Structure 1
């Protein structure tokens, strides 16, 4: 019994080791098998340019093709089988030929249908046309009667509304005439005072105008002053916040540990750029602008970047003309393991980890 149990455990151990070995091989393939890319492009005018890019990994086990030439095309393949992407050129040509044939057949069919409809329209007798005209006239008569009834109802509603408004106005006039006897009617003394003040203002309209004008000026100045105070307080708060942020940023940059981390990140980023930059590059570019000052700036930048492209790209400047024409081809590779190693070197820096933790604790601010 124990012998059988040991055999089963041995088989399970071997299977586990095989699975772990396969996972390790997959991990090594992902890290150290390079992702290769190559491409080319040409530009002659806005309507005449094309770009082709091919990316593949592990002996074309996974491949991606992207092309832009009178439209974007892309295809993703796994072990040579198309997974997804845009329609291929062969399908486009087949569909174009089928479309042309169907268009010819559709044109013949449309001519036949139009001729048939014309004959059907001609076959309509005059009796049917008379019946249709009588039905249309009856519909128009009914619509006219409905419109007249609606207009009559609206006129009656307007008359009732005007009579009601006249009654309300007469009642308001009566109440205004009875207002001086408010004490006898039981109205409060405050309402009588306001009424007398209104009567005095009505007796002196110039004084009322002056007081209303002064009141408007004072309220306008109060509103402007309050708005100015609010805007000034907001501006001062913003200035204080900016000054605080400036001081904190300067302190962060001037810190010696942070400067070491900056130098480390800069070195690793330069290595990343050198790693992903195409190993083979060739082409020719003709360019030019009418502005001499702008042309001088472009040439100064091109001279600064000369160590990057070297003698691989032939640059031809053209003076006193707006021109851009060229062709370019490139080839390179990228290893995930190299990029992961560079990222690991940055993460192993203690100061970088400390700053990342502080950034997370501040909520990403």
Structure 2
């Protein structure tokens, strides 16, 4: 039993050791295996479409790489694994999948036949059953479709629109009396005399009552109007007194309103002046804090360390080998001289490895070729990050920046 447990522990330890070794190997490759790059550009004519540009980036001894090329106005990007492009790898994988499917189909021929039989059965449609013909009462045969078409409108109920009017109890009683008298008259009259419909009689009764109501309302309005017009002076006098009171109250309140407006304006001006003083005092306090922060020795030491590491990283990333020759010129000779001065400022980077030939003929021209190579180590970035993180001056600057409002 103990022997089996020891074998299991040994196996687990071996697996953990392999995993740790692979992780350590990956870290070492990231830190000490450089990323190499190279580029080349050439332009021999005046048009930029005919220019040629090629760039290449590789890592892990050219196991992983990427190439970019620009020719005849067209760009192309290719990613490679061990010198083989991803497009070729995808094509090989597609071919392998296709071969595996063909083999699986060839191994199971019966399944294909069954699928074909099922598809043939599904395609066959069942025969349509004919509906029996329907005979009319006369004896003629009719199609079932026509019979159904005839039955549909018969089943639809007719919904005639009926107009009803609401009548009060007095109206209904008067209407019933009139209907009774009409019934007696109908018995006396001859049969050829037309009878008036009941609905029309109802409408006439309602119209008569509406006219009677309107006449009563007009009489009440006529009675109320002269009552209002009898004493016009009594209605106009209170209105005049109210207007005079309003005018006098406005005149009395006018000086107070003017004084309130003047005092509010003065208070607003004073408040604005105070706000301006506060903003100026806040700006002066911030300027004083920034001055004390930047003039501090520890802050200066931290900034100098950051600048040193940044300058070292820039120098490390820049190409180690640069070669080329460039000929350029502009219509205005002053522009050519300014461009030449700017290129002179880049002397520390290329160290006069690029030959520049200016032309002062008054023509726009830019031709030449340039090639460069370089490498980048990951350990340089880790070194700079460790130096900045564990520096005491950097920690002091970060702490003071966090508590700057205090």
**Post-superposition offset of 1:30:** 0.8
Paired residues of 1:45 and 1:325 also in contact (CA < 8 A):
no
| Alpha-carbon distance, 1:318 to partner | 2.3
From 68, 75, 78, the equivalent of 2:78 is 75
* d(CA) in 2 for partners of 1:317, 1:223: 72
2:137 corresponds to which residue?
none
Where do 5+ consecutive residues of structure 1 fail to align? 85-173, 201-210
> In structure 2, what is the equivalent of residue 328 of structure 1?
370
Instruction: Provide the secondary structure at the position in 1 that maps to 2:371.
Output: strand
Unaligned stretches of 5+ residues in structure 2: 88-228
SS state of the match for residue 59, structure 1?
A: coil
Change (3 A) 1:348 1:231: same
After TM superposition, the score normalised by the length of structure 2 is: 0.51
Residue correspondence of structure 1 range 146-225 to structure 2 within 5 A: 180-182=236-238, 193-194=245-246
Contact 1:283 1:312 in 2 (8 A): yes
1:259 Cα deviation after fit? 1.6
1:339 matches 2:381: yes
Q: Report the Cα offset of residue 277 of structure 1.
A: 0.9
> Which residue number in structure 2 is paired with residue 35 of structure 1?
35
Q: 1:266 — aligned with what? A: 307
Q: CA deviation at 1:40?
A: 1.7
Number of aligned pairs?
254
Alignment RMSD: 4.3
Post-superposition shift, 1:256? 1.2
Structure 1: how far apart are the matches of 2:267 and 2:364?
58
Query: For residues 84-116 of structure 1, what are the alpha-carbon distances to aligned partners after superposition, in whole Å with 9 as ceiling and x for unaligned?
Result: 8xxxxxxxxxxxxxxxxxxxxxxxxxxxxxxxx
CA deviations 1:136-162 (Å, max 9, x no partner) are xxxxxxxxxxxxxxxxxxxxxxxxxxx
Q: Give 1 or 2 for the bigger CA radius of gyration.
A: 2
**Alpha-carbon deviation of 1:296?**
4.6
Which residue matches 2:92? none
Most deviating of 228-237 and 30-39: 228-237
**SS of residue matched to 1:252:** helix
Pairwise CA distance, 1:4? 1.3
SS at match of 1:182: helix
Q: Does structure 1 retain, via aligned residues, the 8 Å contact 2:328–2:357?
A: yes
Alpha carbons of structure 1 residues 51 and 253: separation in structure 2 relative to 1, 3 Å: farther
Which of 314, 317, 323 is the aligned partner of 2:355?
314
State whether residues 298 and 396 of structure 2, in contact with CA within 8 Å, keep that contact through their aligned partners in structure 1: no
How far the C-alpha of 1:321 sits from its partner, in A, is 3.4
2:279 aligned with 1:277 = no
Q: What SS does the corresponding residue of 2:245 show, helix, strand or coil?
A: helix
**8 Å Cα contact 1:286-1:323 kept in structure 2:** no
Preserved contact between residue 285 and residue 324 of structure 1 (Cα < 8 Å): no
Give 3-state SS (helix, strand or coil) of 1:249's partner: helix
- In structure 1, the residue matched to 2:6 is 6
Look up the match of 1:66.
68
Change (3 A) 1:251 1:46: farther
Q: What does 1:106-185 correspond to in 2, within 5 Å?
A: 180-182=236-238
* Change in 2 beyond 3 A, CA 1:290/1:341: same
Contact map agreement 2:32 2:379 (CA 8 A) in 1: yes
Distance 1:74 1:244, change over 3 A: farther
CA deviation vs aligned residue, 1:51-90 (integer Å, no higher than 9, x gap): 3321111123322233455355433344456558xxxxxx
Structure 2 SS opposite 1:343 = helix
Looking at structure 2, the residues matched to 63 and 333 of structure 1 have their Cα atoms a distance apart, in angstroms, of 14
How far has the Cα of 1:291 moved from its partner? 5.5
Q: In 1, distance between residues paired with 2:293 and 2:60?
A: 44
Q: Is the 8 A contact 1:42 1:328 kept in 2?
A: yes
| 2-structure distance, mates of 1:193, 1:63 | 97
Contact 2:302 2:397 in 1 (8 A): no
